[in-house]
Amino acid sequence: MKILFLITRSDTIGGAQVHVKDLAKALIHDQTQVVVLTGESGYYNHALSKLKIHNISLESLKRSINLLEDWRTLFEIRKIIRSHQPDLVSTHSSKAGLLGRIACQLEGVPCLFTAHGWAFTQGVPGGKRYLYRSLESLASPLSKLIICVSDYDRHLGIQAGINPDRLVTIHNGMPDIQPKYWADPIGKGTIHLTMIARFDQQKDHMTLLQAIQQIENVHVNLVGDGPSLNNTKALVEQLNIEDKVSFLGFRSDIPEVLAQSQIFALISHWEGFPRTIIEAMRAGLPVVASQVGGVAEAVIDGETGFCVARQDVATLRERLAKLVAEPELRVQMGQAGRRRYEANFTFQRMYDQTCQVYERVLAREGKL
């Protein structure tokens, strides 16, 4: 079997990029021929090459809409499909998903689209939300099936007019870690709270920082980079909490970072099904997260952590203060999160379900 993955961004390694990388690595191990096609060359291509995953970058494939460049990209995608002759194309992210589906339709190759959180989900600015809702509704017939990473997203797709028979939910999963990377939620002295998130419009670092301003005995580690990093640093100075916050930048050693933490937080305006939450549960950490997208399908409120309404500073402060003050609760919730990871969010479970979808599509096409 030959599979071509297509994803837009390669300048960062977010959830969608990790998803494709992990799938590609496992498929190659199982004797599947894999090519990953990305936008303009970046960190991600280097990471794929280190794993000996064949990858190609298209300089014309960018997030922004440019009709001339997008037409050129469509031509290049079709050219690569004809050259590599994949049995199946798996597209990821909105831009690559749209152009990839059109290219596959023109080339007569079966295509899948994985929605890592719809671009028209609640919390996305209105104009962009309505545009992508229309585009996704029009593009949905071009893919044989659409994989949603949460039931929330599947229902959102149905509300947008997408045929329910084309939508299947497969929750994200992550490979396990060695026990040496399991966290100690009790900790010693100051409690370390970690948030792993790109500094951009989607994430809500402001609400987190306002919430911890009045909490004693807590230090916040912010992992990531992005366009709003400097604004966030300025906010830390404005709130006079420089001694309570560290900016760790982009990190490739996430298990090590989480192993030194006692609480994990993900405060956002919108999400699909965040892989960082799975990483935190895998490490045995209690999770406090904004109740957006499919977050509540991972975090069981009051059991593995707390779900808090979007931009609710007061409730977030209360939940975090409770966890900081109660080590036994941190341990209890962290252990519950670890059990939930083992039962529901392992990589093998996700991989098996994804391969079943591949086989289902290929069987329909007479390629099995």
Question: What does the pLDDT read at residue 66?
Answer: 76
User: In the prediction, which pLDDT does 123 show?
Assistant: 85
Name the one residue in this structure whose structure tokens are 């900081």.
Answer: 324
Cα separations (Å) of 352 from 114, 171, 297, 349, 356? 16, 12, 20, 5, 6
Provide the pLDDT for residue 14: 85
Residues of the chain under the 50 pLDDT cut: none
DSSP 235: H
How wide is the angle at C-alpha 350 spanned by C-alphas 345 and 356, nearest 5°? 155
CA angle 6/165/360 to nearest 5° reads 60
What pLDDT does residue 131 have? Answer: 86
Helix (H) / strand (E) containing 349: helix 347-364
CA distance 288 to 154: 24
Cα angle: 111, vertex 42, 278; to 5 degrees? 65
Domain annotation for the chain: domains and CATH numbers? 2-174+346-364 (3.40.50.2000), 179-344 (3.40.50.2000)
Token couple for 206: 């402001």
